[in-house]
Amino acid sequence: MEINELKEIDKTVKGWLHESRDNVLRKIDTRLKVDTKTSRRDLVTNIDKQNEKFLVGKIREFDPDAKILGEEGFGDQVHSTDGRIWIIDPIDGTMNFVKQRNHFAIMIALYEDGKGVLGYVMDVIGKHLLSGGPDLGVFDNGHPLPPVKDTSLREGLIGLSGPMVLHNDYNMVDIAQQSLGMRIYGSAGIDIISVLRGELVGYISYLKPWDFGAGRILCETAGLKMTTIDGRRLDVLSSTPVLLATRNAHQDILTIVSK
């Protein structure tokens, strides 16, 4: 895609995000309709659904030929990475949204023939929008993101998934012990923003395409590594344990995982 076309798309997507943030904020103090999905910890609210419908509507109008992969199912069934695919997580961190009305994100990604083009991760309450892609670079609220320091695991805080720590999956306890401390934020989007901003040295969680699709584009552009927990290439249509970290910490963590 040409740079001017990318900038045009970028401006359009930011417009959708600002509108969708305003829609969410307008309803944030209303009584939510909360449903469970696979377990009592896996929630969806009327706001998740409304926001996905809103974003799907905008994308359909703007890019009618593209496919849309959305967590709550208002998009398409997507089986191949051919062509343009928009990936949406309308509210990432739904449990935080329900219990805290804070620490949640809205995420949008655009892929073309399997290659990441543009990614957006917005911390709605913390007011950070991380945006960009390989041809534009990465921006934090419109300002170029400062280079991310290549910190080792020993020198940084690591973001982890609660369930993975509780079950000590992949030697998660050793990973936490080698770091300066672990943080469990409960939103992939918030963790990804924190790694991009240098507040965490990495993040490990079992993730689905809408949890990592946008962040992966931003993180790879920023020189971070995002792979499966055993260091293999991520397939954007598959769910897997994901390891995101600085290059140094990524190597440190792979060593512990394979012990």
41 binds ligand 2AM (CB under 6 A): yes
52 binds Ca ion (CB under 5 A): no
Is residue 240 exposed (0-12), middle (13-18) or buried (19+ Cβ within 10 Å)? middle
Distances (CA, A) of 194 to 3, 189, 252: 28, 9, 19
Q: Which of 8, 22, 35, 42 binds ligand 2AM (CB under 6 A)?
A: 42
Selected range binding ligand 2AM among 15-23, 34-42, 147-155, 244-252, rule: CB under 6 A? 34-42
Selected range binding Ca ion among 82-90, 113-121, 130-138, 239-247, rule: CB under 5 A? 82-90
191 binds Ca ion (CB under 5 A): no
Residues 137, 235: Cα–Cα separation, whole Å: 22
38 binds ligand 2AM (CB under 6 A): yes
50 binds ligand 2AM (CB under 6 A): no
* Backbone φ/ψ region at 91: left (φ over 0), alpha (ψ -120 to 50), beta: beta
246 binds ligand 2AM (CB under 6 A): no
Binding residue ranges for Mg(2+) = 71, 89, 91-92, 211
The 94-113 contact track toward ligand 2AM, x by CB under 6 A, reads x-------------------
Selected range binding Ca ion among 55-63, 91-99, 198-206, 232-240, rule: CB under 5 A? 91-99
In the complex, least distance from residue 242 CB atom to Ca ion, rounded to whole angstroms: 12
Beta-ladder partners of 227: 243
User: Which among 61, 83, 48 is positioned nearest to 16, based on CA atoms?
Assistant: 61
Is residue 119 exposed (0-12), middle (13-18) or buried (19+ Cβ within 10 Å)? buried
Minimum CB distance to ligand 2AM smaller for 9 or for 192: 192
Cβ pair 6, 135 in contact under 8 A: yes
Helix (H, G, I), strand (E, B) or coil at 256: helix
